[in-house]
């Protein structure tokens, strides 16, 4: 892996961790919405994923998550 890719992956992981650590505050502001986070800052939010992605200049390098109090079901 090259250094730039590792740096981007670590930044993405840090943003995901930031979301988890700030989930209660985020739920108060963005419940049942998609949010985009980069460098520990919410860049945009939208109830629709397509709407959120259209607001981002670089969606491929931005942490995007759905914020909800509902338990998520995963099908493996």
- Name the residue ranges covered by the structural domains of the chain: 3-67
Cβ-contact 30, 45 below 8 angstroms:
yes
Predicted TM-score (pTM) of the model is 0.86
Q: Which residue from 49, 41, 43 is spatially nearest to 68, judged by alpha carbons?
A: 49
Other Cβ atoms within 10 Å of 8 Cβ, number: 13
- What would you measure as the largest C-alpha separation in the chain, in angstroms? 39
Cα–Cα distances in angstroms (integers) from residue 8 to residues 4, 39, 62, in the given order: 6, 11, 10
Q: What is the pLDDT along the chain (76 residues), one digit of tens a residue?
A: 688 889 989 999 999 999 999 999 999 999 999 999 999 999 999 999 999 999 999 998 899 999 998 876 767 6
Q: Which residue from 63, 71, 8 is spatially nearest to 35, judged by alpha carbons?
A: 63
């Amino acid at each position: 892996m090259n250094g730039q890719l590792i740096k981007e992956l670590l930044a993405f992981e840090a943003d995901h961790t930031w979301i988890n650590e700030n989930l209660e505050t985020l739920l108060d502001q963005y419940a049942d919405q998609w949010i985009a986070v980069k460098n520990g800052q919410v860049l945009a939010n939208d109830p629709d994923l397509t709407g959120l992605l259209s607001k981002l200049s670089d969606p491929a390098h931005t942490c995007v998550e759905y914020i909800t109090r509902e338990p998520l079901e995963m099908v493996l």
